[in-house]
Amino acid sequence: MSMKTLYLDYAATTPCAPEVADAMGKCLTLEGNFANPASRSHRFGWQAEQAVETARGQVATLLGADPREIVWTSGATESNNLAIKGHIERLRAMAADQSVHLITSVIEHKAVLDTVAYVERVYGVEVTRLVPDADGIIQPDQVAEALRDDTCLVSLMAVNNELGTITDIAAIAALLADHPALFHVDAAQAIGKMPVNLKDWPVDMMSLSAHKFYGPKGVGALFVRREPEVRLACQMHGGGHERGMRSGTLPTHQLVGMGEAARLVSENQASDEARIRDLRDQLWAGIQALGDVVLNGHETQRVANHLNISVGGVDGEILLASLAKVAVSSGSACTSASVEPSYVLKAIGRSDVLAHAGLRLSVGRYTRKEDIDFAIGEMTRIVERLR
């Protein structure tokens, strides 16, 4: 009989919704909608193209965007690269010697941090990296203070992937309204966790990834505003697909899956969020009862599914290894193999000991109340034994 293992790492990735898997399966075989969407000489290609455009419309509806503003990518990492490199390379092509300044933060996902470091090194871009407050929040007045006449881009995440803290995107967009700098938002952790509507968030570019909201891995999108038009230097050449911004044969099955996932979020966002928040709060109450447990990040300005804690009196790595029956992470999925303390927890002032002891537990659509009871029981048993 196999050991019961509970999944509480929804911030790393989510399972495909059954409806998503079913829709994707119908786009894989000869009997299904398998053709190349760019094959416009026959009915098979037309049907595939129609399916892709339906999915584009579903993603656009979720975001409150025009379907023509959705550019398909392989995920938020590629979207972040296209947004940041694409904008900087286009500016450099127009004026190679012009002073260029970029604003980001020290707690961004590595897909932004590493891309920013690249344009800094290769194109001589000057970078201001904002430091969050003790609650893990980048405040709008920090952006206002850092703005310069030559600032060309502000790139900040909507929701921090480790802490779940929420950035006030609307306020930052408002202060950039009269400034020529573009505003790029990595919203990978926001979609499906909180309402996201581009009518409320007048940003220029926004990255998203399907696997964070019950869609397939390997597919995402970049929202690129049309009015006023944002133009980017292509990063993937070969055929001029996606309005010249991203070449490559479109994976019909993945896009259909992402569209279906977006449709489900559109329909279930409010009820999912309320139920998940209750479960997360139940989990926090049970763990808090252990004593000497620190909540990392703002208590209320965070999405419903995230819980990041540091448990005192135990070695963090031993605790993580001991939680064999509960799948959690020590931070971002992209850095969880590292033995270094979380750079996000260090940025909000946690000691090396507490940063090493940080655990991210994230609840999702398929978590149930009895799962939370099980997780609290396991945490209590293991922490008491280790202490």
Strands (DSSP E) along the chain, which ranges? 6-7, 70-73, 101-105, 126-130, 151-157, 182-186, 205-209, 220-224, 293-295, 306-311, 326-327, 358-362
Closest by CA position to 250, among listed 62, 51, 65, 61? 51
- Kindly name the residue from 16, 152, 234, 334 that is annotated as catalytic: 334
195 is written with which tokens? 């309402």
| Identity at 96, one-letter amino acid code | A
Integer Cα distance of 328 and 320 in angstroms:
8
Cross-strand pairs, 7: 327
Cross-strand pairs, 358: 310
1 is written with which tokens? 């009989």
77 is written with which tokens? 């990492």
* CA 186 to chain centroid: 6
| Identity at 333, one-letter amino acid code | A
Rg (CA), the chain: 21
List C-alpha distances in Å: 254 to 17, 63, 169, 209, 263: 13, 19, 29, 11, 14
Cross-strand pairs, 309: 295, 359
Is the distance from CB of 19 to CB of 7 less than 8 angstroms?
A: no
Angle at 144 (CA atoms; ends 143, 147), nearest 5 degrees: 80
Integer Cα distance of 254 and 231 in angstroms:
26
Q: How many CB atoms lie within 10 A of CB 185?
A: 27
Question: Is residue 334 among the annotated active site residues?
Answer: yes
Integer Cα distance of 95 and 123 in angstroms:
12
Q: Which residues are catalytic?
A: 334
